[in-house]
Chains A and B, each alone.
Chain A
Amino acid sequence: MNKTVTVNIGGMVFHIEELAYDKLKNYLQNIRCHFSVSDGRDEIIEDIESRIAEILLQILGKSRQVVTSEDVDQVMSVMGKPEDFSGADDAACSTSQTNGDATANEATIKRRLYRDPDERVIAGVCSGLGHYFGIDAVWLRLLFIIIFFMGFSGLLIYIVLAIILPKAITPTQKLEMRGDPVNISTIRKETESPAVKREPSGISNFFDLMLSGIKIILKGIVYIITAFFAFIALIVLFSIGMGIMAMLGVGGLTIPVFISDQFLSRDQQMWTTVAFILLFAIPAVWLIIRLVKWMFNIKYNTHRLNVAVGILFILGLAVAFFNVYDIARDFAKDAKIRNTVEVLNPSAQTLSLRIMDDPKYDEESQSRIFSTRGGNFSVTTGSDFVFNQDNVDFKIEKAPTDQFELIQIFSAEGRTEKEAMDNAKSIKYNFEQKDSTLMLSDHFPIPKGVKFRNQKVLLILKVPVGKSIYIDESMVDILDDIDNVTNTWDGDMGGHTWKMTDAGLMCTDFDFTTNKSNTVDSDDVDINIDQHGIRIKGKDANDNDKNVNIKIDKSGMHVKTEDAK
């Protein structure tokens, strides 16, 4: 497929391919410059054009519409080269260039800004500008020297121009630089008798070296940045690919499939995949195409591609939005199941509370794929995947009777209330009483086939007044804001025995009211808070050999520095 242009040759309309057009135009231009006005140039050209039209019509016949490059070649072989024409010689060509007739052509030819390597003093910027504006380069050099002395910016302007302006190297570029028409004969002339070169000065050689050095460094930086982004894009693409593969359940990556099965329905998984492809994979590929295009300076029109990628991205947003909405609806309703289990009164005075050992869970806690601390869920790997929900909370309340009681409240969410109820019912929470020890579990499995719908277990232990409980250190993680008379943090309650009094829980083996409990000890800082005030003792941040004592009390704040030894 080639672009065509419509031309008028000898009063006839022709569709001609662009390449063929350039060839024919050059050919006619070439003929034109072989004759002068006095030769009757216009008439000769007219006659020749008429004949060309006739030949072309003959070549095309009825079946073809477009003149190709080969057709023009054929015309040229029939008509012959201008050099073979009699009545004029090459001298006529060069004279027609310099006399007034040529100026009409020149007006339509675009001048281009280049650096002129033939007439340079430093980098040829001034002579290039001179050609462009039609001013003698000397004046521009003078101007630049003045700017140089007015400030450093002059030099900067020069360097910037030297970097961004291309050097006129080929004859075509040199002709464009001077605003001469570019055709076969002028190019030939330029090649055969190039402009006289000015001997490059020492400065210009040095400047050339410096310029190419700067260019190489800039190019290097650009390449490094590009490579970096390409690398990131590749990683993103790779991980997206892995994710998609995993979602589709390709090759061994079944763990995430299991995870997604626990969260999403098949349809939701599919739409999530679609959204991922539209939102990430396609833009990533597009980004790589852009980068490659930019790195290797490939020029082709990607407008349609850009539009397509944009539309797909918006489509992806829509899919993602509706999918997220659909997923959110699965969590719309919630349900609670409450049941009460009697806890046998222990033979001993104190009921011990501890977390049950789950060798599998503990052993594999190292290999949890993900877990949120103090919170929601974890997945253990191994021969059998267990999706564990860690959302277990434990509260202690005063019992109305003299009987220990454990209340289990299972809650879950779902699309409908019935679904939420079913999800709550599916919870199988495990606990065990061995005489005076109550062993609780800090997690519960969500069986395969049941979706994660924010299942929670809330345990409330009712402790009769006068009875004691021992809270093992292992319990600390599931304690949920347990009221006690000393307002002790849950984190500090472990490892102590607490007695239920009328006022609430009270620690019996440790006095949380003493200041000791409030001492923070770290390697460098001691903070002590008591009824007298706050004392902070720590190392001087600026001088390791000094200690700083800060005391804040009723009388104000005191700062004292002392030697560490």
Chain B
Amino acid sequence: MGNLENTQSQMRKGVLEFCILSIISKGEVYPSDIIDEMKEAKLIVVEGTLYPLLTRLKNAGLLSYNWVESNAGPPRKYYKLTPLGQEHLKELKKTWDELVDAVNQTYHNSTEK
């Protein structure tokens, strides 16, 4: 069981970055919005996971943010993709499609046998 959970979490972690980038690619977003969407997709359970990831992507130059005043608390960071980020996302999309193909192919082949 522990092994299964580990693999599952590894798989989720792998696609996490791709998903976040694709959510942000729709426009300027606030982390909370990302979380809502991710929670719906059951990719993230706790919010804490997101912040280190965003910081890492921002430090890698894939994201940039604007401060926006909020009337419900401290000012919020709204993230958007940098050109580099868009490039990165494209690459990831390509890789993802390939992966899906690869998974489908291997999985179906193995089930047909």
Residues of chain A at the chain B interface (Cβ within 8 Å):
10-12, 31, 35, 39-40, 43-44, 47-48, 50-51, 53-54, 57-58, 77-82, 84-88
Contact = CB atoms under 8 A, between A and B. Distances in A.
B51 A84 contact: no
B47 A80 contact: yes
B51 A44 contact: yes
Given A51-B31, A84-B48, A12 B55 contact: no
A57 B72 contact: yes
Given A54-B74, A86-B16, A79 B46 contact: yes
Contacts of B58: 40
B59 A86 contact: no
Given A82-B48, A86-B49, 9 more contacts: A10-B73, A39-B52, A47-B54, A54-B73, A58-B73, A79-B48, A84-B49, A86-B52, A86-B53
B93 interface: no
B88 interface: no
Interface residues of B, number: 24
A87 B45 CA distance: 15
Interface majority SS (helix, strand, loop, mixed), chain B: helix
Contacts of B13: 86
A53 B73 contact: yes
Contacts of A50: 73-77
Contacts of B73: 10, 12, 50, 53-54, 57-58
Given A40-B59, A47-B31, A51-B31, A10 B52 contact: no
B32 interface: yes
B46 A81 contact: yes
Interface majority SS (helix, strand, loop, mixed), chain A: helix
Contacts of B52: 35, 39-40, 44, 85-88
Contacts of B53: 86-87
B56 A40 contact: yes
A80 B74 contact: no
Nearest to B44: A80
B45 A84 contact: yes
Interface string B18-58: 00000000000001100000000000011111011111101
24 contacts: A11-B75, A39-B52, A39-B56, A44-B51, A44-B55, A47-B31, A47-B77, A48-B48, A50-B74, A51-B31, A51-B47, A51-B51, A54-B73, A57-B73, A78-B46, A80-B45, A80-B47, A81-B48, A84-B45, A84-B48, A85-B48, A85-B49, A86-B16, A87-B53
Nearest to A31: B48
